[in-house]
Structure formats: structure tokens, C-alpha cells
Chain A
Amino acid sequence: MKITINQIPCECERGESILQIARRNGIEIPTLCWHDGFPGQGACRLCIVEVIEGGRAKIVVSCVYPVERECEVLTESEKVRRQRGMILALLRKKAPDSPEIQALCERYHAPEIERFLPETGSRCVMCGLCVKACGELSVGAIATVNRGVEKEIATPYHEPSSACVGCGSCAYVCPAGAIPVQEMEDVRIIWGKTFSLVHCQDCGRVIGTAEELAAAAKKSGQEPDTLCADCRKKMIALSFRHTYGEIHR
């Protein structure tokens, strides 16, 4: 079927989200809580667009709104800009210390509302991606705690989590740079816990924390890695050559 986004005709499948269709067609819609690996949270509300269906216009959240029939989508209507501006104005105060969020506000011309109280020292916008990443890729060491305006993301009882393996997936997916990771020669500090880093036996590059590698090994039932991905490839190539000799093309 076909829909139009900002008057541009776009081919799509029934049930696809508007965001997916827009991205495929190179149309920009800002997002915070959406990630390829973890779609469908619909929490940040930044991706709102206006949909006109059967003559009626409504604001929907493009990352979860499934297209069921032909419609017209506007990503930059007056209403979208106004509401998105207000959402960003709120986030600006939620994460005043996050350069990423402040840059997003500039880019989408969010109003600076002096009247709103800033949350001191905060970078987090509560998008929830870190919790998803930790739960689905790693060990589920962090979670949202409290509800309402007090909601936050934390380790159990705000203490260094015994489950955390220091993999850093949470920091990697965070769109606001809100999870501090300190990395020195041999240690990584994250969520208040210090992990020793394992280096590739060949090239010396960091391949992860000891705990992370042990957890991955336990999952796969193999010995923990000692080489980085590149050196492992190199090693496989070497043994290939050892077995088959030089291949001439």
C-alpha cells in the first residue's frame, strides 16, 4: 500500500510503523527512546507526527503507530512543532547537563522556558533504553525504580549491583550520555563498581571486562575469549593457511 509523508508518496506494508517507513524514505523524525534493537517503547514522545485519515487529523507517536490504511502524514506541521517543542522544552530541564539533549533542543528549535525548574546535574531523560539493553543483551542489573515524577533508573538499592558485569551496553545505547563510564589502563568503572579489563593476547586491545567475558562464556558454554574480534579472524585465517597453504588467485 501507499501513504504520503510530507506529500512524498511512500510504499509500505500494512502494520509497519510510520517511523520505519519514514526512515526508509530518508525522512527525518527525531527519536530518543527508539533503537533498532529495541523498538516500540513509545515513551519519549519525541517522534510525534500528525496523521490525517479519512479527513480527520490526529497526533500519533510514529515509532509505534501501525499504518492500517491509506493516510497522509505530516512530520513538521504547526501542531507537531508546537507539541514537540514543548516536549523538548521539558526534556531540556530534565537533562540540563546533557550536551546531546541540549543539541537536540537547538536543532528542533525548542523554546527555552525559564519558568520550568531544571533538575540539577541530570543528564537522563528516562527513555528506558539502558534498562532494555541490560535486560535483553546482558544481565538485567538495572531497572526503573519508583513511579510518577520520582521515577529513575538505578541498580538495586542504589548500591553496586552484584549482577552487573560492566559490559557497558547501557552506556552505549544511551542517547543522552547519561551513564558515566570511566576507563583506565586496566579497569573500567561503571555504576559504582570497578571491573578489571581483559586485553587481547595478540594486539593488546581491550576486549571486555573479565566478568563480562565469563558471563558470555557461561551462556555459550565455551571458554572465555582471549583475543579481540580482529585477531580472532586473523588467527582463523592463519590456521586456514597452515592447513591449505597459500591460496593463489
Chain B
Amino acid sequence: MKTIRICCGTGCLANGSLLVAEEFEKKISQASVDAAVECVAKRTGCHGLCEDGPIVTIMPDNICYYHVRPKDVDEILEKTIANDTPVERLLYQNEQGVKIMSQRENPFYAHQTKIALRNVGTISPDSLEDYLAADGYKALKKALTMSPEEILTEMERSGLRGRGGAGFPTGRKWRTAAGYDVFPKYVVCNGDEGDPGAFMDGSILEGDPHSVLEGMAICALAIGAEEGFLYIRDEYVHARRSIKEAIRQAEAAGILGDNIMGSGKKLHLSIVRGGGAFVCGESTALMASIEGRVGEPRAKYIRSVQKGLWDHPTVLNNVETLANVPYIILHGGASYAAVGTGGSKGTKVFAMVGKVKRTGLVEVPMGATLRELIFDIGGGIRNGRPFKAVQTGGPSGGCIPESMLDLPVDFDTLKKYGAMMGSGGMIVMDDRSCMVEVARYYVQFLCGESCGKCTPCREGLKQMLAILTDICEGRGRIEDLDLLEALGETMQEASLCALGKSAPNPVLTTLKYFRGEYEAHILEHRCPAGVCTKLTSFAIDPDKCRGCTACARACPVNAVAGTARHPHAIDAALCIRCGSCREACRFDAVYTEGRDLS
């Protein structure tokens, strides 16, 4: 019996994997009567290498195909399914030009360790049977034979820290909530995932929904909760559907609901649609939102484990945190703690995007270096350009320069250098990214996403944006840099919630590691990356230009003139400085200079 796994994660769906899946299903049902080999087609969650999708894997042959189109289906059925031979042209080709058969040997996957994503991409998220066959709900069954104390001890032993950003020890959080004799208690899953560019939690919710439900059920047993909520980002329609179906199946099978696996214990889970604001992912704002109030954070001097939802003890955990829980209970905390570093155990999922060759969803042991992530897994920078910086942790994270690429990625190291693990967003940048503009972008994002309640965050962000915009447009002053730092310090110290406290991070880290770039903007009215349009003019080096006309064709305003095989030139009066010509040039002939602002 062969299984054809068709990736139906968000990336592959966007590339048309649904049509591929339908084609497989149609062809298999038509041919099933006289097929020599029995086979099933399965729609799975994200395989990770979205870049090269739609992805199809054939088991047990362990063959992985990329960029599969509906027209490839016949050939795959005939060659691989019926005759055990690979379709060469759909295989992955490595840098040396060697065709690679299995997923494991693909350099993108070879360095990964999958725990949280253990089932994502291999099982069908709609099928409870699939989950059960992959050891699903065995941990819950085991937990039912354990005392709450034993579960808590196992969780503490695992060293698991929250994957939502703050890295709070999960076992300790659960133990505190378990210690209060106030009922009802609640367990909440944070599926709000608001970082621009992040899709770790969405992929788990879509690709392996039962693992999150199982994690919540184990938490409920440990703390004594009988009700739980999954707060899922408004845009995540697929994730919500997948979770809803999983809850329905688990309840129908007697795994959740009024009588968990016949134990007499209860757990009712419901889905809450996110309020559509980044700040709603913050724990206290999220709880306010579930209660039907405005999603604004409150002071956290009294913790949610004591007074959370409706002032009752509440454990709130991130999706990825919860997906790790069944693994820990089933295999033991010690086995989980064997992976990772001293202070950060286990693995971490990252959504790696930007100027890296292979973008996608990756899971590595804590302590892997940024270099391994970006170069070994991601394959380095696109188009052979130099690496400049990597932004971790989204709007609350920081930008890390080349000199720090060998730092281990874990909670404490990143924090020490002013960046943040955050929830796992990772944006890779090359020399054509302007670090001032990156800082400005995040501040602008937060200007719209802050709840606007406290002074340092609301007013601080507003003034920061004005100053950064001035710098990007050539109106900066050198004293601005000290002022940005002073303002950043007040925001970090005095803001109400972690949004404001971490909002200056992108500014402060770029000021620390890329100060020269700020100075070039201010003192020389020049954007070294050629991004800030007010400070940049584009020109073509006649010695490098081969007259290939690529730039002229790319220019949206016909500002490039020249005849084929002769050097081209840019008409500065027409140029809108969008950079399309530079992107299009294969000979590195387009360069940027500062502009005369007078």
C-alpha cells in the first residue's frame, strides 16, 4: 500500500496544490479497480519548503517531488506508484547538481529535528485515525493514569519554556495555576500569531490540530480545568476550520467532552475568533477579548495564573508550546530535555523568510546557530548577494549583524544581545536592505497596532516614527540618535505591556549594530542600501552594462534609455527610484548614490 502525501499547507495551496490533490484523487478512484498497487492520496499540512511547492511525497518509497502540477500526476502514478521508479525532473537538485530522492537528504530538511512539527506534513489533519496511528492521544491516556503532581513534575523536568515569546517555564506556570483552589479554572491556547511574516502556529493548527487539543487536555488534567478556549487569529480561516473539525471528532470519539476516555473527567473546548489586532495576542488583552471587552492589556502585577479569565486561575499557552506537551508526557521530560541548551530545552520552529534561498518553516534544536539556519538550511542569500542582518522576533525583536551569526539561538542569548526569540519569525536581509527603514517599518507597524492606552507606548512610538521618517528623508540630525535611545529606554521601562516595552528593540539594535548607516543618512544624506528614495539616485555603470535591456524592460516609468548591446542610462528626472532596474540587472551595473538635497 502506497501513500501519496500532497501538501495542502497555505504556501502550497497558493501554488495550486488543491488541483494536484484533486487530480490524484480522481485518477486513483478511476484506476482503482485494476490498479496493480493499492494507494491512497492524502492531503496534509505544511511540508515546510513552501518555496518549492506544491510538494508531494510518496511513502514508503520516501520520494519527495517539488513544483508538482496536475499534468505531472499521470506520470507519477505510472512511474513511481506502479513501477517504483522516480520522476527525475520533479526531484530536488542540490547545489552540485545531484538529484535527491528523499526528503531527509534534502539539505533544507537534513539539519532539522521535528518535535512540535512531528506530524505536520505527514498526517492528514482531518483524520483522527491518522493522528491515532501516529501515537496520538497516547500521551493523554498516559496522563490519565498519572497524578497532577506527576504531570507537573514531568513538565518541569522537560525544561519547556513558552514559545509565544516570553519564554516563561511552562511547568512552573502550570504548577502555580494548579496551586490555587479556586474553580472553575481555564486553559487557553494563544493562536493569535500576529507577527508580520510568521506562520508557525498557523501551520501547526492546520496541519496537526489534535496535538494542540491533546496538549490542552493534559494541561487541564494537571491544573484541574474543565473548560478551555482556543483564540485563533481572525484571518486563519483554515486553521479554525481544522480545529473545529478536530474538536468535533475528538468529542464524538469520547476523547474530549463530558467523559475523557471513560475517566469521568471533563473538558469542553471552544474556539474564539481573534479581535484582529496585534495587541490581542498579549495575554491580558487576549483574555479581555475572550470576555467580550476591548482587547487592551492590563498591568500584570497580579498574574493570570491567579486571576485570569473572569478573575479565575487561567493557563495561557502558545500553540507550539502546547504541541510539544504530548511528546513530553509520552517520552518523558528527560528525553525532551536532552535536546537543546542549558537554559532552553527542546526545539524551536521558525518561519524563515526574506532574502534567503530556501524560505519556509523549519524546526531546529535550541542552540543551533543563526549561520546553520540561514546558510545550511536556508542555503544562504539569494542571487549571491552578501548577508547583512537577520531580524528575529518580529516587531518586538531586533536586527542581528553578520558578526553575530555564530551565536546560538536560544531565549537567553538573543535577549542578551537586544534581539528576541519572539515567536519565531525570522527575516533575512541582504545588503540592499536599509536598516533605518527596517526600524522605521516596525515602528510604523506598531503605531497602528499599539492599543494606545499608555503614554510611553502611544506618544513614544508617534515621536519615534516622526524622527525615523525624518532620518529616512534627509531631515535627520545627529542628536536624534541619542534622543531615540533615551526615548527607547523610557518606553522599555515605563510602558504598560510587553508591546511597548519591546517596541524600541528594532530601533535600539539597529542603532547599536548599524549606527554608521544612520550616520550616513544624517551626515551625508545617503542611504547606503539605496532604499530610502529621498536620499537615493540610481545610475548605470557603463563599464559593467552589457546593454541586455533587462533594466529598461523592468522600469515601470520608462526612465531607462539605450539601445541593445550598448550601455544604458537612467533619466534622473523620470526615475521614481523604485529599484526595479537594480533588481533586474544580472551584471551588477546599476548602482546608487546619495542625492543632492539642496
Complex contacts, B456 vs chain A, CB 8 Å:
45, 86-87, 90
Q: Check B459–A91 contact: CB distance below 8 A.
A: yes
Where chain B touches its partner, the secondary structure class is: helix
- Taken residue by residue from 27 to 62, chain A's Cβ proximity to chain B (1 for < 8 Å, 0 otherwise) reads as 000000000000000111110100000000001110
Residue from B451, B455, B466, B486 in contact with A147 in the complex, judged by beta carbons closer than 8 Å = B451
- Taken residue by residue from 491 to 514, chain B's Cβ proximity to chain A (1 for < 8 Å, 0 otherwise) reads as 001111000000000000000000
Tell me the chain B residues, 403-449 only, with Cβ under 8 Å from chain A: 446-449
Q: Check B452–A126 contact: CB distance below 8 A.
A: yes
Complex contacts, A59 vs chain B, CB 8 Å:
493-494
B467 within 8 A of A: yes
Tell me the chain A residues, 116-162 only, with Cβ under 8 Å from chain B: 116-117, 125-126, 128, 144, 146-151
Which residue from chain A places its CB closest to the CB of B493 in the assembled complex? Answer: A59
CB-CB under 8 A for A65 and B463, given A44-B455, A87-B494, A148-B450: no
Complex contacts, B493 vs chain A, CB 8 Å:
48, 59, 79, 83
Q: Check B448–A148 contact: CB distance below 8 A.
A: yes
Which residue from chain A places its CB closest to the CB of B500 in the assembled complex? Answer: A45
Q: Check A144–B452 contact: CB distance below 8 A.
A: yes
Q: Check B449–A147 contact: CB distance below 8 A.
A: yes
Q: Check A149–B458 contact: CB distance below 8 A.
A: yes
Residue from A65, A87, A116, A125 in contact with B301 in the complex, judged by beta carbons closer than 8 Å = A65
A199 within 8 A of B: no
Q: Check A151–B455 contact: CB distance below 8 A.
A: no
Complex contacts, B294 vs chain A, CB 8 Å:
144
Tell me the chain B residues, 458-480 only, with Cβ under 8 Å from chain A: 458-463, 465-467, 477, 479-480
Q: Check B494–A147 contact: CB distance below 8 A.
A: no
Q: Complex Cα distance A94/B496, Å? A: 18
Complex contacts, A116 vs chain B, CB 8 Å:
463, 466
Complex contacts, B489 vs chain A, CB 8 Å:
83, 86
Q: Check A45–B449 contact: CB distance below 8 A.
A: no
* Least distance between B268 CB and chain A CB atoms (Å): 32
A64 within 8 A of B: yes
B453 within 8 A of A: yes
Q: Check A151–B483 contact: CB distance below 8 A.
A: no
Q: Check A90–B460 contact: CB distance below 8 A.
A: yes
Q: Complex Cα distance A37/B307, Å? A: 23
A66 within 8 A of B: yes
* Least distance between B461 CB and chain A CB atoms (Å): 6
Which residue from chain B places its CB closest to the CB of A91 in the assembled complex? Answer: B455
Complex contacts, B453 vs chain A, CB 8 Å:
43, 126, 128, 151
B454 within 8 A of A: yes
Q: Check A117–B455 contact: CB distance below 8 A.
A: no
Q: Check B494–A48 contact: CB distance below 8 A.
A: yes
Q: Complex Cα distance A91/B462, Å? A: 12
Which residue from chain A places its CB closest to the CB of B466 in the assembled complex? Answer: A117
Q: Complex Cα distance A217/B541, Å? A: 83
Q: Complex Cα distance A151/B486, Å? A: 24
CB-CB under 8 A for A83 and B451, given A60-B301, A115-B467, A126-B458: no
Q: Check B455–A125 contact: CB distance below 8 A.
A: yes
B142 within 8 A of A: no
Which residue from chain B places its CB closest to the CB of A68 in the assembled complex? Answer: B301
Complex contacts, A115 vs chain B, CB 8 Å:
463, 467, 477, 479-480, 483
* Least distance between A196 CB and chain B CB atoms (Å): 34
- Taken residue by residue from 180 to 214, chain A's Cβ proximity to chain B (1 for < 8 Å, 0 otherwise) reads as 00000000000000000000000000000000000
Q: Complex Cα distance A95/B299, Å? A: 25
Q: Check B463–A117 contact: CB distance below 8 A.
A: yes
Q: Complex Cα distance A43/B452, Å? A: 9
B113 within 8 A of A: no
Q: Complex Cα distance A83/B490, Å? A: 5
Among B448, B463, B465: residue with most chain A CB under 10 A? B463
* Least distance between A5 CB and chain B CB atoms (Å): 17
Which residue from chain A places its CB closest to the CB of B496 in the assembled complex? Answer: A42
Q: Complex Cα distance A151/B277, Å? A: 14
Q: Check B450–A149 contact: CB distance below 8 A.
A: yes
Which residue from chain A places its CB closest to the CB of B477 in the assembled complex? Answer: A115
Q: Check B487–A148 contact: CB distance below 8 A.
A: no
A163 within 8 A of B: no
Q: Check B487–A147 contact: CB distance below 8 A.
A: no
Q: Complex Cα distance A137/B201, Å? A: 43
Which residue from chain A places its CB closest to the CB of B463 in the assembled complex? Answer: A116
Complex contacts, B279 vs chain A, CB 8 Å:
147
Complex contacts, A125 vs chain B, CB 8 Å:
455
* Least distance between B492 CB and chain A CB atoms (Å): 10
* Least distance between A66 CB and chain B CB atoms (Å): 6
Residue from A43, A79, A149 in contact with B454 in the complex, judged by beta carbons closer than 8 Å = A43
CB-CB under 8 A for A149 and B462, given A87-B490, A115-B483: yes
B302 within 8 A of A: yes
Residue from B298, B452, B477 in contact with A149 in the complex, judged by beta carbons closer than 8 Å = B452
Tell me the chain B residues, 158-189 only, with Cβ under 8 Å from chain A: none
A113 within 8 A of B: yes
Q: Complex Cα distance A192/B286, Å? A: 35
Q: Complex Cα distance A60/B451, Å? A: 20
Residue from A64, A83, A93, A117 in contact with B299 in the complex, judged by beta carbons closer than 8 Å = A64
Q: Complex Cα distance A115/B484, Å? A: 11
CB-CB under 8 A for A148 and B302, given A45-B456, A87-B490, A115-B480: no
Q: Complex Cα distance A94/B456, Å? A: 11
Which residue from chain B places its CB closest to the CB of A66 in the assembled complex? Answer: B301
Q: Complex Cα distance A113/B456, Å? A: 15
* Least distance between B578 CB and chain A CB atoms (Å): 28
Complex contacts, A60 vs chain B, CB 8 Å:
301
Which residue from chain B places its CB closest to the CB of A115 in the assembled complex? Answer: B483
Which residue from chain A places its CB closest to the CB of B490 in the assembled complex? Answer: A86
Which residue from chain B places its CB closest to the CB of A146 in the assembled complex? Answer: B452
Binding site for A on B (CB under 8 A): 277, 279, 294, 298-299, 301-302, 446-456, 458-463, 465-467, 477, 479-480, 483, 486-487, 489-490, 493-496
**Which 5 pairs across A and B sit closest by C-beta, in order of nearness?**
A151-B452, A90-B459, A86-B490, A149-B462, A64-B299
Cβ contacts A to B, 17 pairs, < 8 Å: A42-B298, A43-B496, A44-B454, A46-B455, A59-B494, A64-B299, A82-B490, A83-B494, A90-B463, A113-B483, A126-B458, A146-B452, A147-B448, A149-B450, A149-B458, A149-B462, A149-B465
Binding site for B on A (CB under 8 A): 42-46, 48, 59-61, 64-66, 79, 82-83, 86-87, 90-91, 93-94, 113, 115-117, 125-126, 128, 144, 146-151
